């Protein structure tokens, strides 16, 4: 029986969690079958958790913490493993984005693909505390600006972006910085690089108010969806999940202003800002 605290720095969060699960079960003197009999979880499911083949929902770790009386150890390890999963999925999304032929994006604020450098810097620096954080922010700003080059590649992807009006009504940075951002939106929408639509506040509450959604289609027709909230994200690859994400996007598109009206709307916001 191995202590779950050994060599944690050298393994992934999911592996550490799995090893802790096995350690607690073996310390209690139970087999997987016995544990399954005492809990509501299937034996094969518990085995996959122990060998790191899958990551459970938080409620499962809360149940097992209570079962083992482990003082929240499993929940803490789950949080570490969950953060790693988010990072891995974001990296995969970033790998797929540059080669996408069709991109559908919904954002509550100004999406990264349309941010000016100053707005990106302001948004990314919100949590900085140390000198090293400042350096990290600058690296992220450069990476975000580089990302935007995919809009101008040849052949260019077909990009449709829906922005919530909320994102146009909350200024970022100084008046000059925000004015430049609004001008940039007008320029991009006018050039036809992207199809830009505004979802007006008059559309009321909607089911994506807590985050952002991107759906990507590759040349071969394969598709993925990426949902993102505060400090978390999830890459959806299952065909049924992607279909549901696409339908969610389509419903918002039906509520959004047409592209020409959206451009006029953004120009109106710019005029109000500069008045």
Q: For 138-185, write each residue's pLDDT tens digit.
A: 888 888 888 898 888 888 899 999 999 999 999 999 999 999 999 999
- Res. 11: pLDDT tops 70: no
Quote the pTM value: 0.68
Q: What is the pLDDT of residues 20-78, one digit of tens each?
A: 999 999 999 999 999 999 998 999 989 989 998 877 878 889 999 999 999 999 999 98
CB burial class (10 A; 0-12, 13-18, 19+) of residue 235?
Answer: buried
Name the phi and psi angles at 57, rounded to 5. Answer: -80, 160
CB burial class (10 A; 0-12, 13-18, 19+) of residue 154?
Answer: exposed
Calculate mean pLDDT across residues 189-200: 90
Q: In what order do the strands lie in the sheet with 195-199?
A: 195-199, 158-164, 102-107, 212-217, 223-229, 232-236
Cis peptide before 173 (omega within 30 of 0): no
Q: How confident is the model at residue 189 (pLDDT cuts 50, 70, 90)?
A: confident
Calculate mean pLDDT across residues 97-118: 94
Residue 261 is classified by DSSP as H
C-alpha distance from residue 254 to each of 12, 91, 250 (Å): 43, 31, 6
| Per-residue confidence (pLDDT) for residue 8, from 0 to 100 | 43
Give dist(CA 63, CA 48) in Å, integer. 17
| Per-residue confidence (pLDDT) for residue 5, from 0 to 100 | 46
C-alpha distance from residue 143 to each of 137, 178, 187 (Å): 10, 21, 22
| Per-residue confidence (pLDDT) for residue 85, from 0 to 100 | 64
Are 112 and 144 in contact by the 8 Å Cβ rule? The answer is yes
Q: What is the pLDDT of residues 218-271, one digit of tens each?
A: 999 999 999 987 666 788 989 999 999 999 999 999 999 999 999 999 999 999
CB burial class (10 A; 0-12, 13-18, 19+) of residue 267?
Answer: middle
From start to end of the chain, where are the E strands?
102-107, 158-164, 195-199, 212-217, 223-229, 232-236
Calculate mean pLDDT across residues 118-126: 90
Calculate mean pLDDT across residues 79-83: 77
Residue corresponding to tokens 């598109």: 253
Nearest to 110 by CA among 49, 58, 172, 62: 172
User: Which domains occur in the chain, in start order?
Assistant: 8-85 (1.10.260.40), 100-111+150-274 (3.30.870)
Q: Are strands 158-164 and 223-229 parallel, antiparallel or unpaired?
A: unpaired
Q: How confident is the model at residue 133 (pLDDT cuts 50, 70, 90)?
A: low
46-49 contacts at long range (C-beta below 8 A, 24 or more positions apart): 46/21, 49/17, 49/18, 49/21
Summary mean pLDDT of the chain: 87
| Per-residue confidence (pLDDT) for residue 10, from 0 to 100 | 45
Q: Strand, coil or helix: what is 123?
A: helix
Give dist(CA 237, CA 88) in Å, integer. 14
| Per-residue confidence (pLDDT) for residue 1, from 0 to 100 | 53
Give dist(CA 89, CA 136) in Å, integer. 20
């Amino acid at each position: 029986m191995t202590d779950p605290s050994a060599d944690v720095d050298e393994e992934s969060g999911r592996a550490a969690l799995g090893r802790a699960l096995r350690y607690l079960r073996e310390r209690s003197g139970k087999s997987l079958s016995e544990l399954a009999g005492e809990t509501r979880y299937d034996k094969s499911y518990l085995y996959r958790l122990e060998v790191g083949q899958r990551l459970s929902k938080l409620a499962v770790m809360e149940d097992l913490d209570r079962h083992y009386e482990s003082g929240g150890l499993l929940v803490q390890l789950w949080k570490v493993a969950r953060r790693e999963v988010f990072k891995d999925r974001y990296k995969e999304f970033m790998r797929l984005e540059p080669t996408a032929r069709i991109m559908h994006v919904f954002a509550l604020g100004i999406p990264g693909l349309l941010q000016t450098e100053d707005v990106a810097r302001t948004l990314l620096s919100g949590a900085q505390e140390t000198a090293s954080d400042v350096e990290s922010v600058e690296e992220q700003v450069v990476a975000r600006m580089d990302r935007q080059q995919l809009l101008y590649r040849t052949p260019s992807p077909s990009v449709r972006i829906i922005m919530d009006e909320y994102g146009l009504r909350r200024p970022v940075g100084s008046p000059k910085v925000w004015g430049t951002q609004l001008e940039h939106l007008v320029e991009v929408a006018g050039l036809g690089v992207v199809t830009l639509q505004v979802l007006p506040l008059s559309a009321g509450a909607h089911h994506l108010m807590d985050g952002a959604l991107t759906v990507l289609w590759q040349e071969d027709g394969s598709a993925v969806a990426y949902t993102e909230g505060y400090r978390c994200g999830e890459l959806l690859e299952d065909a049924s999940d992607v279909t549901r994400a696409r339908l969610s996007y389509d419903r918002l598109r039906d509520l959004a202003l047409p592209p020409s009206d959206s451009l006029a709307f953004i120009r109106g916001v710019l005029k109000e800002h500069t008045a």
